[in-house]
Each structure stands twice: as C-alpha cells, then as structure tokens.
C-alpha cells in the first residue's frame, strides 16, 4: 500500500510542477467562470427586456400576459457543465496520457520495475493520484462557478441546491475518470506516443462531439428554429402521439446517443441542475429515479475503463511498448 | 521550394496519423448527407401525419428546401474534424525534420528559412485542397443520389465554392499547427497548444460574443447575439475572431440556407484574414527555434 501511495504522491508532485497542465486547468477554470458571467448578463438582459415590455403594456393599459423570466441559479452553470463535457474530457485525456507518456519518455520504467513492486502498483498509484486531482479540480470548478453565479448573477442557493451540486460533482468526477482511464490504456499499449495521443483525440472527437451532434441533428424537433412542433402548433400530448409512429427512427437515434458516455453525463447533470424542464425544482429523489439509468451507465463506463486500464498497464505491457 | 513542397506531399501521403483523421473526415462528410436525408424524410413524414390527423394547417417547413440542405452538416464536420486534421498535419510537418534531426542538414543547403516554412505550408495546403476536392466530389455524388437526379449546375457551383472556402480556414489552422510545432520544445505541447487554441476559437470566443452555450455551437446554424446588453458591442469586436462561426455564416449563405443570418462579406474577410494572419505568424519563427532540440 505504501508503494501505491509513493507512486500517487510522485504523480501529484509532477502535475503540480507541470506548467502545461496548470495552464490548461487554469484556462478551463477561466472559461467556466466567464461562461457563468455571460449567462448572468444574458439573464439580466432578458429581465430588463421583460420589464421594458411590461412597462410599455402598462402605459397602454394592457396587462402583460407573458410570465416573467425566473432565475434558477443552477441553470447559470449550464455552459460550465458543457465545458466539462467537451474540454474537461479533452484535458482528462491529456492528463491520463501524460501520466504514462512521461515514464516512457524518461526511460524510468525499466528502473522502476527492478524494484519489488506488484503488477498493479504503478497503475493504481497513478489512477489514484489522477482521481484525487480530478476530484479537487471538479470541486474547485463547481465552487468557483457557483460563487460567480452568486456574485455576478445575484443568485441565492438553497440547501437542496447544495445537494444537487454535490451530485453534479460526483457525476463530473466519474466522467473525467472514464476519459483519463481511456487515455492511460491507450498510452500504455501504444508503441508510439504520438499515435496514442492522436488515437485518444480521435476517440474524443467521435464520442464527445460527433455522436451527440449526429443524435441532436436526427431529432426532428431540432430541425426548425424554435422547434418543429411549436412551429406546427402541436400540443405536447399530440406530439407524443405523433412520435409514437416513428419508434424505429427514434430508437436508432436514442441507441446512437446512449452509446456515448458524454450523453449520459449530460442527461445526469442536466437533470440534477434542473436544466431539463421536467426535473426543474423537483425533489432529489424524483430526479434520481429519472436518471438512475444514466448514473448506472456512468458507473459502468467508469468501472469498465478502469478495469481495462488496470490490465493494460501491467509492467510487461509497459516494458514491451516503451522499447 | 519545389523540392520541399514535393517532399511535404510525399510525407503526408505516407503518414498514418493525418490519414486516420482524413478517413474520419471523408466518412463523416459522406454520412452527413445521409443523415440530412433521413432527418428531412422523417420531418416530412411527421408533417404528413399531423396534417392527416388535422392537428396542423401549417405548410411543410421543408417543402421548398433546396437539395443543398443535405450538405448543411458538412459545415460542422469541416469545423470539427477538418480543422483538427489540418492542425495535426501542420504539427506533424513541423516536427518531422526536428524529430529526424535532419533540419540542420536541410538548412545547410542554399534554402532560406522562409522557403522552408512556406514550402511546407504550400505542400500542406495542396494536400488539404486535394482532400477537400475528394470530399466535395463525394458530397456531390451522395446528394445527387439522394435527390434522385443531377442537381442544377448552380447547385454544384455552390458546393464547389463551399469546399473552396474551407481551404483558407483549414490552411489557417494548419499554419497554427506548424507554428506550435516549430516553436515547441516538446512534442506533447506542440500538439496540445494548437488544439487548445482551436477549442478557444470554436467555443470560448463565440460564447462571449453571443451568449451561445458550447453544445449549441455544434449546430451548423450560427446563433445571432442576444439583443440588448453588451452582447451586440462585444460581438462586433470579438465576432470576427470567432472564425468557425464566420465560416458557418459564409457557408450557410453559399449553400442557400434560409436559416442563416449574418454579414457575408464580413465573414469572408474574417476567414481570409485568419489565413493571411496565421501564414504571416509562421514567418516570424526564428531559425534557432526551428533548429531547437526536441526533448521528446
């Protein structure tokens, strides 16, 4: 156990010393904070527009039929979560890749494995360290964006909101661990490190950007600005009835979407943050019941990729691919 | 310079990594037309069902769309896959001679620094134009098959102009990749810095100017800035730097997409300006940097 801790301590020290890693994580934090500021200003603009509209109607003696825009503090975090979904996954790949690549580049593996360490010591130490780094990073991002929402967006948080945020941190942490484990596996099994990095990036491109984009494109409701069914003036129950005739198409679209871990992460976090309308202001138990399958999928992806990385990062494989 | 261009083309045709991304690029452009067809068919079927059930009297929103609608998703794949392919081609090209330690030998010949750099950039640009030509032909064939007839000549011309417009965008990102590859001391940072720049240009800059969320930016239709507040002014100054959004505007106009709003000439200036600025940027790389030792 002490040896695993030693590897983990060394890994954390390396990350702390890497200017590139710190710059990337800093860049992400700034992008996330800016996104909350932008969302807060955007809400303020909409609230002002509503007030102007109401005042104009009142001056004409007409009652405003439209409902006022309501601030849900956690909604301000939507873009930050999307950054975690896209850029967080990319940075998780980079960190996972770097953990293995640096040992291969420095030629320290041969020396390391002359010591009496077990098959899984190195990988457990490295993954443990990366898990800690991600937990700290996700917590900092969520805390910083929430503070920004409170300061810039004048948002007020309830105790339930804190619970939702903790569950969001948990989901984001698992999601980033999946990508780190994927990169660790690819870097361990590749003889050429550049190939490992590019294969990981191509995988990221397909799973994070292309598959969800194709899924969204295939949604008929996304095909017309403002929504197809709204443009056809069709009520929700009728919409459901019409779509029941297209189960084959919708199942294919759904199958494509659920093959991507990113979509599960998105559905999970959007539900807990109330971004998805049907879960907004619902009790946590109700939300949990609704997204249980996505939470389960996230865990399964994490367990699967971590197990694969354990078995692909054995001394034998590392020594063979680092020659 | 001719020898450098020829060597660059030969190396790019042999390297596996740019070819891997090229395969993804070709596949996505081919599949995107098919996805467009499936979606349009489904939406039209939804409309027929709702009309038959007496639920709507609105006209079919897709009835008057041109066949070029099927090429709409290609815009996003050029921004997502094409630009990354260009970056990786640029980085690979810049690192190749440094990794093989042949750079000192090459620069000992009567070859100027700018001939070496621009020879490589021209080589990559020719490779990118061949790639775009191929995907353009594939897109035209797939769309004609889906449409069930040859398209009007003007539509083929629009498709050609669309893929031609992608060239300065991709060439600009290839130059960014080269810039990082020529300056970086490590192979990893040579790859990561231009990819981070790409993420910044594609997601962060457009968000500041329009308040659009990152995932919404994966849509081929660019979002107009929120009216009111600082967004109009911010977008005026920042918008031209969001080159991927400008590419969406210009491409959408070329492909006759009725949902696209925005200033066409401003978008063209932005894309061409990006290509010129980035090619100027690589000319500033010093000889000592090019000859610098790569630590990985």
Q: What is the pLDDT of residue A255?
A: 86
State how far residue A18 is from chain B, nearest Cα, in angstroms: 11
Q: Among A97-101, A229-233, B145-149, B152-156, which stretch is predicted with the lowest mean pLDDT?
A: A229-233
pLDDT by 10s per residue, chain B, length 296: 788 888 888 888 888 777 888 888 888 888 887 787 787 788 788 888 888 877 777 777 777 777 888 888 889 889 988 999 999 999 989 988 887 777 777 777 777 888 889 999 999 999 999 999 999 999 999 888 887 888 899 999 999 999 999 999 999 999 999 999 998 888 778 888 898 899 889 988 888 877 778 888 888 888 776 776 777 777 788 888 899 999 999 999 999 887 788 889 999 999 999 999 999 999 888 887 777 777 65
Which of the listed ranges A60-69, A227-236, B37-46 does the model predict with the highest average pLDDT?
Answer: B37-46
| pLDDT for the residue B9 | 87
> What is the rounded radius of gyration, in angstroms, for the C-alpha atoms of chain A?
23
Q: Worst-scoring range by mean pLDDT, A49-53, A92-96, A134-138, B131-135?
A: A49-53
The answer to whether the CB atoms of A232 and B73 lie below 8 A apart is no
Q: What are phi and psi of B64, to 5 degrees?
A: -100, 20
| Tokens of residue B106, six digits | 């090459």
Q: How far is residue B79's CA from residue B170's CA, in Å, rounded to a whole number?
A: 9
CB B243 within 8 A of CB B219: no
List the 171-190 stretch of B: residues with Cβ below 8 A of A: 186-189
pLDDT at residue number A81: 93
Look at residue A173 and tell me whether its pLDDT is greater than 90: yes
How far apart are the C-alpha atoms of B90 and B97, rounded to whole Å?
12
**Chain A environment of B231 (Cβ under 8 Å):** 41-42, 45
A211 is in which domain, residue-wise?
2-321
| Confidence class for position A225, pLDDT limits 50, 70, 90 | low
Q: Is B296 on the interface with A (CB under 8 A)?
A: yes
Residue spans of the domains in chain B: they are: 2-290
Maximum separation of any 2 CA atoms in chain B, in Å: 79
Beta-carbon neighbour count of residue B23 at 10 Å? 12
Q: What is the ipTM of this complex?
A: 0.81
The residue of chain B nearest to residue A104, with distances taken between CA atoms, is: B296
Q: Please give the Cα distance from B55 to B49 (Å, whole number).
A: 9
Alpha carbons B189 and A113: distance in angstroms, whole number: 28
**Cβ burial, residue A111 (10 Å; 0-12/13-18/19+):** exposed
Cβ within 8 Å of A, B 47-106 = 47, 49-50, 53, 55-56, 58, 61-62, 73, 76-77, 80-81, 84, 88
Tell me which of A25-34, A227-236, B84-93, B283-292 is least confident.
A227-236
Report residue A171: phi and psi, to 5°.
-60, -45
Asked if A76 and A155 count as a contact pair (C-beta separation under 8 A), the reply is yes
pLDDT in tens, A271-301: 999 988 888 888 999 999 999 999 999 999 9
Higher pLDDT, A238 or A181: A181
Q: Which two tokens stand for residue A105?
A: 């580049």
Q: Which of A153, A201, A219 to mutate to test the interface with B (most CBs of B within 10 A)?
A: A201
pLDDT of B40: 77
Three-class HEC string of A136-193: HHHHHHHHHHHHHHHHHCCCCCCHHHHHHHHHHHHHHHHHHHHHHHHHHHHHHHCCCH
- Are B169 and B78 in contact by the 8 Å Cβ rule? The answer is yes
Which residues are CB-neighbours of B62 under 8 A, at least 6 positions away?
A: A223, B40, B43, B44, B47, B69
Interface residue B111 vs chain A (CB under 8 A):
no
Q: Helix, strand or coil for residue B44?
A: helix
- Between CA B205 and CA B213, with CA B210 as vertex, the angle to 5 degrees is 75
Per-residue confidence (pLDDT) for residue A323, from 0 to 100: 65
Cβ atoms within 10 A of the Cβ of B186, count?
14
Q: Under a CB-based contact definition with an 8 Å cutoff, are residues A81 and A37 in contact?
A: no
Could you tell me if B258 lies within 8 Å of chain A, comparing CB atoms?
no
B158: tokens are 């629009």
Q: Given this model, what pLDDT does residue B122 score?
A: 94
Residue A67: CB atoms within 10 A of its CB come to: 7
> In B, which residues are within 8 Å of A199 by CB distance?
20
User: Choosing among B199, B201, B293, B294, which should be mutated to test the A contact, i.e. which has the most A CBs within 10 A?
Assistant: B199
What total number of domains does chain A contain? 1
Q: Count of CB atoms within 10 A of residue A89's CB? A: 26
Instruction: Provide the H-helix boundaries in chain A.
Output: 2-17, 19-59, 78-83, 89-106, 109-112, 121-152, 159-189, 193-204, 211-217, 228-231, 236-243, 247-258, 261-272, 284-312, 315-321
Higher-confidence position of A316 and A83: A83
């Amino acid at each position: 156990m002490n040896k695993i801790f030693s590897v983990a301590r060394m890994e954390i020290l390396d990350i702390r010393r890497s200017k590139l890693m710190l710059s990337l994580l800093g860049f992400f934090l700034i992008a996330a904070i800016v996104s909350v500021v932008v969302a807060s200003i955007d809400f303020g603009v909409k609230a002002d527009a509503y007030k102007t509209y109401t005042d104009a109607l009142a001056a004409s003696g007409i009652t405003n039929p439209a409902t006022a825009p309501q601030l849900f503090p956690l909604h301000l975090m939507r873009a930050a979560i999307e950054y975690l979904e896209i850029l967080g996954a990319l940075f998780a790949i980079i960190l996972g890749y770097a953990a293995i690549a640096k040992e291969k580049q420095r030629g320290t593996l041969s020396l390391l494995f002359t010591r009496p360490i077990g098959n899984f010591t190195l990988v457990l130490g490295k993954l443990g360290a990366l898990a800690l780094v991600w937990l700290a990073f996700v917590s900092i991002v969520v805390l910083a964006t929430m503070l920004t929402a409170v300061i810039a967006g004048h948002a007020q948080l309830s105790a339930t909101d804190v619970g939702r945020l903790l569950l969001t941190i948990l989901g984001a942490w698992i999601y980033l661990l999946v990508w780190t484990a994927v990169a660790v596996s690819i870097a361990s099994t590749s003889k050429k490190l550049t190939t490992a990095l590019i294969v990981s990036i191509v995988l990221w491109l397909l799973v994070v950007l292309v598959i969800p984009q194709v899924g969204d494109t295939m949604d008929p409701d996304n095909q017309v600005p403002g929504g197809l069914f709204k443009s056809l003036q069709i009520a929700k129950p009728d919409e459901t009835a019409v779509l029941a005739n297209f189960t084959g198409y919708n199942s294919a679209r759904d199958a494509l979407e659920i093959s991507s871990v990113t979509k599960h992460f998105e559905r999970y976090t959007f539900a807990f943050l109330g971004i998805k309308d049907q879960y907004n202001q619902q009790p946590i138990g109700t939300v949990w019941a609704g997204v249980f399958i996505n939470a389960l999928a996230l865990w399964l992806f994490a367990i699967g990729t971590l197990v694969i990385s354990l078995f692909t990062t054995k001394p034998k494989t590392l020594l063979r691919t680092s020659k | 310079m001719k020898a450098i261009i020829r060597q660059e083309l030969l190396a790019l045709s042999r390297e596996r990594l740019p070819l891997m991304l090229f395969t993804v690029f070709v596949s996505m452009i081919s599949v995107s037309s098919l996805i467009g067809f499936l979606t349009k068919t489904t939406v039209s079927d939804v409309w027929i069902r709702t009309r038959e059930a007496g639920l709507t009297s609105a006209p079919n929103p897709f009835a008057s769309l041109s066949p070029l609608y099927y090429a709409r998703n290609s815009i996003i794949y050029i921004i997502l896959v094409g630009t990354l392919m260009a970056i990786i081609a640029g980085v690979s090209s810049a690192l190749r001679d440094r990794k093989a330690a042949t750079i000192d030998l090459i620069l000992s010949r009567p070859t100027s620094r700018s001939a070496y750099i621009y020879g490589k950039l021209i080589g990559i640009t020719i490779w990118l134009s061949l790639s775009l030509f191929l995907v353009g032909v594939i897109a035209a064939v797939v769309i004609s098959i889906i449409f069930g007839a040859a398209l009007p000549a003007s539509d083929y011309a629009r498709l050609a102009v669309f893929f031609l417009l992608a060239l300065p965008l991709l060439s600009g990102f290839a130059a960014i990749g080269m810039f990082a590859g020529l300056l970086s001391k490590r192979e990893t940072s040579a790859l990561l810095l231009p990819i981070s720049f790409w993420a910044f240009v594609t997601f962060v800059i457009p968000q500041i100017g329009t308040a659009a969320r990152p995932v919404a930016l994966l849509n081929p239709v660019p979002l107009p800035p929120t009216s009111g507040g600082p967004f109009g002014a911010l977008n005026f100054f920042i918008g031209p730097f969001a080159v991927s959004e400008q590419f969406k505007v210009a491409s959408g106009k070329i492909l006759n997409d009725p949902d696209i709003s925005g200033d066409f000439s401003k978008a063209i200036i932005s894309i061409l300006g990006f290509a010129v600025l980035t090619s100027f940027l690589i000319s500033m790389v010093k000889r000592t940097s090019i000859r610098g030792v790569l630590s990985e």
